[in-house]
């Protein structure tokens, strides 16, 4: 066999998009010169799944399982996705939350092979050239992070790449986006995590974070290069710090098809799950009293979508805002607070609104004060503050509400505002509980963005949308709130995530058409066409 043929055979096995391992047939081995490079056994995808599952379960920790799955993804994409899709309840916590948190913290430790793109500040003049690689010609979906606010763990620098990789694995598993059509990107602008910069194993740009105009110029160069290279691409902003998250969303949402999952995806998931919850309580959304703990990107996004949902049911904006109380690390957000972050301005209550409150005497109005005086029907946490919903807070809430709705949404588990078992105990089992991470407790729903963002992306692409509108997220939330039937939980089971993604995509397409944002041909806008476009993990 010629050297060229040998090289082609090895390249076929080295490319995770073409490698089939032992599943190459005898005919394929003849055609591509694979004899000798593979053992003589000809396997099947099913047998490979079983072998990898056994190897996975032999690992001693979930982090080791995460690393194992990452290596499998880098060697055989079809097998990786087939394994994930074969048991979504088992695999999703390993591929994404909660294990991805440790994966990001230890990303440099387990780095093996290139996946996606690290666009570092030192290469700021080469962005367009880097994106020009023909390997990316098929890209339709990009997830990008700068690693500054990873889950509730803070600045993870280059380790934040674990988030785009994990999110895109879910795009493929749930929305059927082909693995050749996704591209994870990390904007590596340094890190203010001193321990990372001093770690000899750290693989990122060893400098304090670039900020100000230099940061803005870098992101502008990135967006311009993406627009030129990938017209019509769907870009998802992920785990940017609060102010940057809002600024980038506002600045670029109409320049390229894009959304911020922490702001908009979390909001749609939380509101959709809340709509499901209030179907159980029988209390309409217009009569809910909501306390939000944590008013960063996620919390303020949830608040704004709740206002939209209440307005759709007949409330004025002012009346809707009067029902939502936001508490941050400095206490209840009031309008007389100086230098308030922009996303909190609309959440602030007039000091006159709390006249007559009974207060604890602290130098701020605490979460406990707010719960005692508002008597909320809904308590949502996006603060990253472990155990912030303590026994006193939950019992106080339950004194005034027959079926309190409690959503400690912060990730990973180590940052959850409450353990759901405690919430159920403190409310004598009456609480309706949703959590950001999986706790494995019967009746407790994981309020995971995976229920929304894959379908949003699929629907936006299928419709040829020119922008991802607020109305499309509201449509997704309302459809999500309608999907679950039965007494157990609030959302469809994880095993139904592909069906959920299709339902969300259809709702998004319908809304895009209604708003005049769809540019695709009518035949591409049907449920059947969308379903037919969803890739399945099978060998060609």
Q: What is the pLDDT of residue 363?
A: 82
Helices 62-73/45-57 angle, 10° precision: 150
Q: Is 495 exposed, middle or buried (0-12, 13-18, 19+ CB in 10 A)?
A: exposed
Lowest mean pLDDT among 30-34, 146-150, 359-363, 430-434: 359-363
| Greater pLDDT, 59 or 356 | 59
Cα 46 to Cα 41: distance, rounded to the nearest angstrom: 14
- How far apart are the C-alpha atoms of 304 and 308, rounded to whole Å? 6
Flag whether pLDDT at 540 surpasses 70.
yes
Ordered structural domains, the chain, with CATH: 3-89 (1.20.1370.30), 90-256 (3.40.50.10380), 264-447 (3.40.50.720), 451-532 (no CATH)
Calculate ∠ Cα 196-201-204, nearest 5°: 60
44: its two tokens = 């099947």
Average pLDDT value for residue range 526-534: 97
Q: Given this model, what pLDDT does residue 437 score?
A: 86
Question: What is the structure's pLDDT at 485?
Answer: 84
- Cα–Cα distance for residue pair 72/220, rounded to 1 Å: 35
- The mean predicted confidence, pLDDT, of the chain is 95
CB 52 within 8 A of CB 70: no
Q: What Cα–Cα distance (Å) separates residue 225 from each residue in 120, 215, 231?
A: 14, 16, 10
pLDDT digits (tens, 9 = 90+) for 414-450: 899 999 999 999 999 999 999 998 898 988 999 999 9
H helix and E strand count, the chain: 23, 12
- What confidence score (pLDDT) does residue 341 get? 84
- Note if 205 is an active site residue: no
CA atoms within 13 A on the CB side of 511: 23
Question: Rounded to the nearest 5 degrees, what angle is found at the Cα of 417, between the Cα atoms of 337 and 145?
Answer: 75
Query: Residue-wise over 391-405: b if at least 16 C-beta within 10 A, else e?
Result: eebbebbbeebebbb
Dist. CA 188–CA 222, nearest whole Å: 12
Q: Indicate the pTM of the whole model.
A: 0.94
In whole angstroms, what is the distance from residue 489 CA to residue 280 CA? 10
Taking only the tens place, the pLDDT of each residue in 292-307 is 999 988 999 999 999 9
- Residue 401: predicted pLDDT: 95
Q: Where are the beta strands (DSSP E) in 152-302?
A: 182-188, 234-237, 258-260, 290-293
- What integer is the mean pLDDT of 195-218? 97
| 395 and 352 Cβ atoms separated by less than 8 Å | no
Going by C-beta distance under 8 Å and a sequence separation of 6 or more, which residues neighbour residue 382?
Answer: 266, 292, 293, 294, 296, 298, 299, 302, 409, 410
Which residue is catalytic, options 66, 96, 205, 252?
Answer: 96
Is pLDDT of 74 > 70? yes
* Dihedral pair phi/psi, residue 72, rounded to 5°: -65, -40
Other beta carbons less than 10 A from residue 291's beta carbon: 23
Which residue has tokens 């990786």?
A: 80
Which residue did the predictor score with more confidence, 361 or 106?
106
Asked if residue 139 has pLDDT above 90, the reply is: yes
Residue whose C-alpha is closest to residue 345's, from 308, 300, 309, 292: 300
Q: Write down how long the chain is.
A: 540
User: Are the CB atoms for 278 and 284 separated by under 8 Å?
Assistant: yes
Distance CA 462, CA 97 (A): 27
C-alpha to C-alpha distance for 469 and 472, rounded to whole angstroms = 5
Q: What percent of the chain has pLDDT over 70?
A: 100
Place of tokens 């060609």: 540
CA end-to-end span of the chain: 25
Q: Which of 58-67, 418-427, 479-488 is predicted least confidently? A: 479-488
pLDDT score for 343: 83
Predicted confidence at residue 1, as pLDDT, reads: 63
pLDDT, tens digit, 9 for 90 and up, residues 311-332: 999 999 999 999 999 999 889 9
Instruction: Compute, in degrees rounded to 10, the torsion defined by CA atoms 90, 93, 273, 490.
Output: 30
Pairing of strands 331-332, 324-328: antiparallel
Which one of 20, 66, 140, 167 is the catalytic residue? 167
Confidence of residue 137 (pLDDT cuts 50, 70, 90): very high
How much is the average pLDDT of 215-230? 98
Average pLDDT over residues 250-257: 95
Contact 289, 374 (CB under 8 A): yes
């Amino acid at each position: 066999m010629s050297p060229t043929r040998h090289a082609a055979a090895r390249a076929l096995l080295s490319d995770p998009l073409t490698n089939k391992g032992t599943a190459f047939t005898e005919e394929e081995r003849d055609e591509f010169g694979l004899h000798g490079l593979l053992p003589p056994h000809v396997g099947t995808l099913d047998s490979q799944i079983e072998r990898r599952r056994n190897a996975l379960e032999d690992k001693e920790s979930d982090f080791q399982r995460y690393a194992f799955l990452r290596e499998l993804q880098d060697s055989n994409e079809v097998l990786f996705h087939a394994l994930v899709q074969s048991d979504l309840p088992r695999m999703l916590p390993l591929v994404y939350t909660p294990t991805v948190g440790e994966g990001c913290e230890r990303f440099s430790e387990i780095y093996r092979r290139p996946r996606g793109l690290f666009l570092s500040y030192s290469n700021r003049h080469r962005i367009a050239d880097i994106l020009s690689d023909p390997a990316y010609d098929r890209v339709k979906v990009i997830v990008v992070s700068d690693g500054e606010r990873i889950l509730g763990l803070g600045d993870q620098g280059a380790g934040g790449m674990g988030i785009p990789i994990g999110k895109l694995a879910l795009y493929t598993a749930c929305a059927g986006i082909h693995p050749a059509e996704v591209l994870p990107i990390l904007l590596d602008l340094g890190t203010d995590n001193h321990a990372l910069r001093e770690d000899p194993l750290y693989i990122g740009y060893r400098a304090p974070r670039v900020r100000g105009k230099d940061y803005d110029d870098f992101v502008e160069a990135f967006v311009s290069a993406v627009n030129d290279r990938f017209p019509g691409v769907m870009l998802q902003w992920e785990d940017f710090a609060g102010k940057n998250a809002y600024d980038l969303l506002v600045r670029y949402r109409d320049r390229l098809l894009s959304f911020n999952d922490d702001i908009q995806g979390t909001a749609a998931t939380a509101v959709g799950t809340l709509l499901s919850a209030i179907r159980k309580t029988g209390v309409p959304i217009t009569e809910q009293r909501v306390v939000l703990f944590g008013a960063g990107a996620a919390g303020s996004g949830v608040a704004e979508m709740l206002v939209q949902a209440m307005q759709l049911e007949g409330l004025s904006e002012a009346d809707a805002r009067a029902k939502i109380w936001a508490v941050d690390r400095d206490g209840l957000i009031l309008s007389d607070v100086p230098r308030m972050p922009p996303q909190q301005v609309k959440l602030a209550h007039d000091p006159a609104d709390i006249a007559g409150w009974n207060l604890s005497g602290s130098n701020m109005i605490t979460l406990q004060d707010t719960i005692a005086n508002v008597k909320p029907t809904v308590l949502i946490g996006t603060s990253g503050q472990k155990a912030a919903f303590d026994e006193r807070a939950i019992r106080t809430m339950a004194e005034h509400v027959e079926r309190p709705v409690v959503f400690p949404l912060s990730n990973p588990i180590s940052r959850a505002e409450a353990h759901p078992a405690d919430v159920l105990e403190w409310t004598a089992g009456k609480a309706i509980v949703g959590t950001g991470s999986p706790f494995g407790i019967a009746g407790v729903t994981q309020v995971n963005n995976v229920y929304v963002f894959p379908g949003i992306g699929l629907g936006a692409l299928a419709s040829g949308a020119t922008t991802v509108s607020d109305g499309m997220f509201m449509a997704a939330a309302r459809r999500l709130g309608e999907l679950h039937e039965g007494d157990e939980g609030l959302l469809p089971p994880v095993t139904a995530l592909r069906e959920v993604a299709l339902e969300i995509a259809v709702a998004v397409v319908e809304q895009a058409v209604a708003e005049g944002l769809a540019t695709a041909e009518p035949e591409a806008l049907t449920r059947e066409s969308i379903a037919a476009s969803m890739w399945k993990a099978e060998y060609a």
